[in-house]
């Protein structure tokens, strides 16, 4: 990174990354959903929910405290569709999303505390689907993507996802278009080191072809990609990845990932071991340890990065999740310096279509040559969707 890159732009990029998470999460393995294909059109998760996924969101994830006592779970599921009713046709689905948050920088500091509300996301999604069990799907989205703080320009409107998918059988499908890379655990935080080091964060989508196999025990995804064709040709990260997971004891997932990508300036080779563990009653543990080998065209920034992630989700009752997050990152394993980031969080789904979330992040750098203060950041998110 250019040393003169403005710090405000970097902070804004981190905040933007945090806000653009999907509203169905990998910790839902705690509800015994081991595969993302149960609830998503995209087999690796993220993006629009299927009709079944919306019903699960309404009847298992979201609280029922604001629904009339006389309402059955079947009626709650019925209102999970667009415009609060079950669609009358089977081939078209639409969706609208809004996400914004309050960020507090340097909390508690009389001179440096800063508070700001940021509108981060407003987009529309369109799904066309045909055949039994949505055998063929066409998915796309388009929406608002704010620019970094300090950039004097109009907000950007763009698509982060569009693809075609065809399931040859319940076990095997092929997908082609602009999609996320298939790698690792898709945790909520796009700023997680497990996402930034291998470049699988919020703006790292690629055009390519993805094959997906879902067996009784194994789920395997392979992807070849030509980079994001909307970028300049010399910046497009071309390569491929594989993501494999095995179901153990019918409740848990353990797996591995490997990814290689390169452009004219940079080559990345990443691999990871990961696990998702069901603690029952909606609670779960997510883990990932990995390494990324980075080589630059001039050799000036060649290094191997190593990271670790541990997240816990505890669900005391329906609609509420208590989070804890611990991350480790060593930007160059030849050096002893490393960074630890940790913090608690609270995620609340008061009703279906509404998500509220509060997070605190503490970041501390350990170095033999320098001493730095811990940094704190608080975030409050509000997410609404139809």
110-155 pLDDT per residue, tens: 777 888 888 888 899 999 999 998 999 999 999 987 766 655 666 6
Count other C-beta atoms under 10 Å from residue 51's C-beta: 17
303-362 pLDDT per residue, tens: 999 999 999 999 999 999 999 999 999 999 999 999 999 999 999 999 989 999 999 999
Domain tally, the chain: 1
1-42 pLDDT per residue, tens: 333 334 444 343 344 434 334 445 788 899 988 999 989 999
In a domain, 1, yes or no: no
In a domain, 106, yes or no: yes
In a domain, 13, yes or no: yes
Contacts 24+ apart (CB under 8 A), 144-153: 144/119, 145/121, 146/16, 146/118, 146/119, 146/120, 148/8, 148/9, 148/12, 148/13, 148/16, 149/8, 149/9, 149/11, 149/12, 150/6, 150/8, 150/9, 150/12, 151/9
Count other C-beta atoms under 10 Å from residue 218's C-beta: 12
For range 69-87, the mean pLDDT: 87
Find out whether 289 and 309 touch, Cβ atoms under 8 Å: yes
Residue-number span of the structural domain to which 91 is assigned: 7-385
Tell me if the pTM is above 0.85.
yes
In a domain, 189, yes or no: yes
What pLDDT score does 93 carry?
94
For the domain that residue 227 is a member of, what is the CATH number? 2.40.160.10
In a domain, 2, yes or no: no
Confidence check: pLDDT of 80 > 50? yes
**Residue written as tokens 């009703």?**
351
């Amino acid at each position: 990174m250019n040393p003169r890159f403005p710090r405000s732009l970097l902070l804004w990029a981190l905040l933007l990354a945090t806000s653009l998470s999907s509203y169905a999460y990998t910790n839902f393995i705690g509800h015994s959903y081991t595969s993302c294909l149960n609830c998503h059109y995209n087999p690796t998760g993220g993006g629009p929910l299927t009709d079944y996924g919306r019903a699960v969101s309404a009847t298992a994830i979201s609280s029922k405290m604001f629904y009339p006592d006389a309402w059955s779970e079947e009626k709650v599921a019925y209102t999970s569709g667009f415009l609060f009713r079950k669609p009358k046709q089977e081939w078209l689905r639409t969706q609208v999303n809004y996400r914004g948050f309050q960020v507090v920088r340097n909390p508690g500091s009389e001179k440096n505390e800063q508070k700001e509300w940021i509108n981060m996301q407003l987009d529309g999604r369109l799904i066309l689907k045909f055949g039994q069990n949505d055998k063929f799907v066409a998915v796309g989205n388009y929406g608002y993507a704010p620019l970094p703080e300090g950039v004097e320009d109009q907000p950007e409107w763009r698509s982060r996802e569009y693809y075609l998918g065809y399931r040859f059988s319940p076990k095997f499908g092929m997908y082609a278009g602009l999609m996320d890379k298939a790698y690792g655990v898709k945790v909520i935080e796009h700023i997680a080191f497990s996402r930034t080091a291998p470049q699988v964060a919020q703006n790292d989508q690629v055009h390519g072809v993805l094959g997906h196999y879902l067996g009784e025990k194994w789920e395997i995804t392979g992807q070849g990609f030509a980079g994001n064709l909307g970028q300049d040709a010399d910046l497009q990260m071309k390569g491929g990845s594989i993501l494999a997971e095995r179901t153990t004891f019918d409740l848990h997932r353990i797996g591995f990932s490997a990814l290689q990508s390169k452009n004219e300036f940079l080559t990345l080779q990443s691999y990871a071991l990961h696990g998702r563990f069901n603690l029952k009653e909606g609670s779960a543990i997510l883990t990932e340890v990995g390494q990324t080998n980075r080589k630059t065209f001039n050799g000036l920034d060649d290094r191997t990065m190593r990271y670790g992630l541990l997240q816990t989700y505890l669900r005391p009752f329906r609609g509420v999740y208590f989070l804890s997050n611990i991350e480790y990152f060593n930007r160059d394993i030849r050096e002893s310096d490393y960074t630890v980031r940790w913090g608690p969080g609270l995620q609340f789904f008061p009703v279906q279509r509404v998500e509220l979330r509060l997070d605190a992040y503490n970041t501390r750098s350990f170095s033999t040559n320098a001493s730095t203060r811990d940094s704190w950041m608080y975030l409050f998110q509000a997410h609404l969707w139809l």
